Amino acid sequence: MEVKVEGGDESANASYSRICQNVFREIGLHGNIDNVYLYCNPSEHVFVISVKIGRVPRPITVNDMTLRGDNRLKITDEKYAPRLLALLWDKFGDRVKQLSRLEITVDVGAKDMEELMKMVVYEPRADLNIRILDAVDRILPEGARVRYPLPSPGRVTIIASENPISEEWKKRVEEMVTLERGGL
Amino acid sequence: MYKIMMFSGGVYKFNELKELTQDIGGFILQEMVMQMETMLHLAFPAEEEKVIRNKVKEIGGKLIDLPLAGAEIMIVVPSLGRHHAVNPMCDIAEFLRRKGAITNMMGLSRGVGKRIAQITVEEKRIIEECDAAVFIFGNFRECIEDKARLCEGLEIPYIIVGGPPELDIPHYVGGIGRKTERMKRKHEIENLEKMAEGLRAELDIRRREIEEDPLAASPLFLKELIDMTIPPKPGEEFSTIIHLDGLRVKLEPGEEKIIRDIEIQNRKLSEICEIKKSLYEGYLLKILPEAETGRVF
């Protein structure tokens, strides 16, 4: 993960670079982020953070985390078990029974069972956005509570300030992020 | 004037050290025995330091100076969120405790930001109950310069810490900004040392002022008297905290009257102290100067 911090004085930039590295490592996103660009303008109290999302693991389907035997499913990765049960109960209600910790029966036909096996249990990309926003929240100064997200593909960009964010700043940041996209 | 030092060593003859301290008119402020290890905080008249040093040499052990002992220090952060806790807030508090201070930590209700940062009158009063304060204001020069206004008008010594190495504001120590990891590197420890040294210098000025206009009774003496009247509850730490010019006493409801009526020579404690309820914890005893109360001893 590459981190670039600009705008503040030398000590502030160095400190925030370290904060970015540590926060993403703590949250466990170090491997999923390509680069982070942080721009600080403390005199106008405007902070911009732009996170480029790197490679994300593919969605986990029922097939990936269970072994099928007729109407019976044996969970092979218990980490996703609560999500699987919630999903099945939501879709099939009382027809789903948990026999033991890792065994489930689903009272459906063979065709439905085929479809069930393709259902997505966990989408890392959806979770990733929440975790990235958590990291962004931890990095940006606490007083910068007015936020403006700038949508762009594969990138999470947020402008934060304690004052209302002006149109001028939104334009400036758009240009900044376009430049960064080319540079990094 | 009393000097406060920490003895750490074995249990061999350490009772003799305690007795000697009491014989020369000193006090045992804190005592901890951990199997074969002992730790004592001793307060004794400064001119008797040699006697204590000789005894420590005889029984074996170390005598460590506690420059901030006898002071309660408030660590103030803009909020109690994870931006400031646990690092660097707890690092600073721990370092000050190692220097002998009793520390409290406080997050301001609206202290975050630059323009929007505020401190309430009540918060200021709570901070002023302590002997000194350390304000942690983050990494940005512009923010620290702007937020220095929060400390204006404080009637106690204070230090502002922040990221930039040097700033043109009074009572500032640099290199202690926002952190996400423990301060354990050499240059970080040096910065903490600088901060402790700054606090010591500020507290020494206050100590000299008190020496010029002496108090009716020493806070150390009153602490012993209070602890004898209302013994600390089992498991309770620091039921009585020493300040430079008074005490903070943690009391149960109804015990305030007992404290007021404690007799010192022919006087009552309430005659030589201003006693008021703390906004934060317990009761505050502010010892009046001898010039106001007349000679007590």
The per-residue pLDDT for range A36-47, each reduced to its tens digit, is 999 999 999 999
Decide if pLDDT at A181 tops 50.
Answer: yes
Q: CA-to-CA distance for A175 and A155, rounded, in angstroms?
A: 14
B101 found inside a domain: yes
Q: Is the dihedral of CA A129, A134, A139, A145 positive or negative?
A: positive
Both B55 and B89 in a single domain?
no
User: What pLDDT is attached to residue A184?
Assistant: 46
CATH number, domain of B26, equals 3.30.70.120
Give mean pLDDT, residues A156-167.
94
pLDDT value, residue B238: 81
In a domain, B214, yes or no: no
The residue of B77, B112, B139 whose CB has the most chain A CBs within 10 angstroms, and thus the best one to mutate to test that interface, is B139
In this predicted structure, what is the pLDDT of residue A166? 94
Task: Tell me how far apart the alpha carbons of residues B217 and B273 are, in angstroms, rounded to a whole number.
Answer: 9
Within 8 A of A42 by CB-CB distance, chain B residues are 114, 140-143
The verdict on a CB contact (< 8 Å) between A45 and B113 is yes
- pTM, to two decimals: 0.86
Residues B205 and B76 grouped into a single domain: yes
Predicted confidence at residue B232, as pLDDT, reads 84
Residue B163 within a domain: yes
* Span A146-154, average pLDDT: 90
Q: Which domains does chain A have, with CATH numbers?
A: 2-56+124-183 (3.30.980), 60-122 (no CATH)
Residue B237 sits in the same domain as residue B186: no
Q: Could you tell me what percent of chain A has a pLDDT over 70? A: 97
pLDDT for B44: 93
B15 shares a domain with B132 = no
The answer to whether residues B45 and B85 belong to one domain is: no
Residues B129 and B144 in one domain: yes
B170 with B252, same domain: the answer is no
> Is there a single domain that holds both residue B86 and residue B193?
yes
Identity of the amino acid at A173: V
- How many distinct structural domains can be found in chain B? 3
Closest CA in chain B for residue A139: B83
Are residue B37 and residue B164 in the same domain, yes or no? no
Nearest by CB: B180 against A23, A141, A144 = A23
Cβ of residue A87 closer than 8 Å to a chain B Cβ = no
Residues B182 and B92 in one domain: yes
Flag residues of chain B having pLDDT under 70: none
Residue B227 neighbours by CB under 8 Å, 6+ apart = B239, B240
Give the model's pLDDT for residue A96.
Answer: 93
Indicate the pLDDT class of residue A182, thresholds 50, 70 and 90: low
Beta pairing partners, A104: A73, A98
Cross-strand bridge partners of residue B73: B103, B132
Task: Inform me whether the pLDDT recorded for A163 exceeds 90.
Answer: yes
The answer to whether B135 touches B159, Cβ cutoff 8 Å, is yes
Best mutation target among A23, A25, A142 (most B Cβ atoms within 10 Å) is A142
- Report the gap between the CA of A28 and the closest CA in chain B (Å): 15
* pLDDT value of position B293: 85
Task: Give the domain CATH number at B99.
Answer: 3.40.50
Same domain, B250 and B268: yes
Domain residue limits at B199: 72-209
Shortest Cα distance, chain A CAs vs residue B166, angstroms: 10
The rounded Cα B230 to chain-centroid distance in angstroms is 22
pLDDT by residue (tens digit) across B141-181? 999 999 999 999 899 999 999 999 999 999 999 999 999 99
Q: What is the DSSP letter of A7?
A: S
Q: Which residue has the higher pLDDT, A26 or B236?
A: A26
Same domain assignment for residues B202 and B89: yes
Residue B86, in any domain of the structure: yes
Is the per-residue pLDDT at A183 higher than 70? no
ipTM: 0.86
CA distance A129 to A134: 9
Q: Give the burial string for B115-134 (b: 16+ CB within 10 Å, else e).
A: eebebeeebbebbebbbbbb
Instruction: Tell me the three-class secondary structure of chain B, residue by residue.
Output: CEEEEEEEEECCCHHHHHHHHHHCCCEEEEEEEECCEEEEEEEEEHHHHHHHHHHHHHHCCEEEECCCCCCEEEEEECCCCCCCCCCCHHHHHHHHHHCCCEEEEEECCCCCCCCCCCCCHHHHHHHHCCCEEEEECCCCHHHHHHHHHHHCCCCCCEEEECCCCCCCCCCEECCCCCCCCCCCCHHHHHHHHHHHHHHHHHHHHHHHHHHHCCECCCHHHHHHHHHHHCCCCCCCCCCEEECCCEEEECCCCCHHHHHHCCEECCEEHHHHEEEEECCCCCEEEEECEHHHHCCCC
| Nearest Cα to Cα of residue A176 among A53, A60, A38 | A38
DSSP state of A115: H
How distant is the alpha carbon of residue B169 from its chain centre? 24
DSSP secondary structure letter of residue A42: T
The pLDDT tens digits of the residues spanning B93-145 come to: 999 999 999 999 999 999 999 999 999 999 999 999 999 999 999 999 999 99
